[in-house]
Amino acid sequence: MTPEELSYTSDHEWVRLNEDGNAVFGITYYAQDALGDIVYVSLPSVGEELKAGTSCGEVESTKSVSDLFAPIDGTVVATNADLEASPELINSSPYFNGWLVEIEPDVPQQIDELLSSADYNALINKA
């Protein structure tokens, strides 16, 4: 449930570094499971500059709403357009089809400071 090749935040988001240097992020399996059926997603606009740790959108389920936080500093280059019609992709495929935002990192090294899958597993097992 926690792919080893990804990096994680304590806000239950994952980050994948692409070969072209861009980073993609989404929410973890644990996060979507805790939220339940996701019915709305609000994402930042392309071109928007994100600051790590600040709110950049919302993920809302039948039960509750959760803020989306930028995992690292960067500029939004794409968002997952499929989620507007099918937000449930986040539930069925949180690490692939349910990706949220692609950014061009300001400082790619910020990704190295995030949690490893082992660190993240330790975090959620403690909860």
Partner 1 sequence: MATQSADLLRTPLFSRHQELGAKCADFGGWEMPIEYSGAVAEHGAVRSRVGIFDVSHMGKLRITGPGAISALNSIVASDLAKIGNGQAQYSMLCNEQGGVVDDFIIYRFTEDNVFIIPNATNATEVFQLLRNALPSGISIENLHNEYGIIAIQGPLAGNVLGRMGLPLDCDYMNWLQADVDGETVIICRTGYTGETGFELVAPVVVLQQLWDRAIYCAAEVDGIPAGLGARDILRTEMGYPLHGQDISPTISPLEAKISWAVGWDKPDFTGRANLQATRAHGAARKRVALKAIGRGIPRAHMDVYSDLELSNKIGEITSGTFSPTLKEGIALALVDSEHDKDQSMFIDVRGKALECANVSLPFIAASPK
Closest CB 61 distance from partner 1, rounded Å: 8
Candidate residues 22, 75, 86, 91; the one interacting with partner 1 per rule CB under 8 A: 91
Closest CB 95 distance from partner 1, rounded Å: 19
Q: Say whether residue 60 binds partner 1 (CB under 8 A).
A: yes
Closest CB 35 distance from partner 1, rounded Å: 10
* CB burial of residue 19 (10 Å; 0-12, 13-18, 19+): exposed
The distance in angstroms from the start CA to the end CA of the chain is: 16
C-alpha to C-alpha distances, 59 to 28, 91, 107, 112, nearest whole angstrom: 12, 11, 26, 26
Which residues contact partner 1 (rule: CB under 8 A)? 33-34, 36-37, 39-40, 42, 58, 60, 62-63, 65, 88, 91, 127
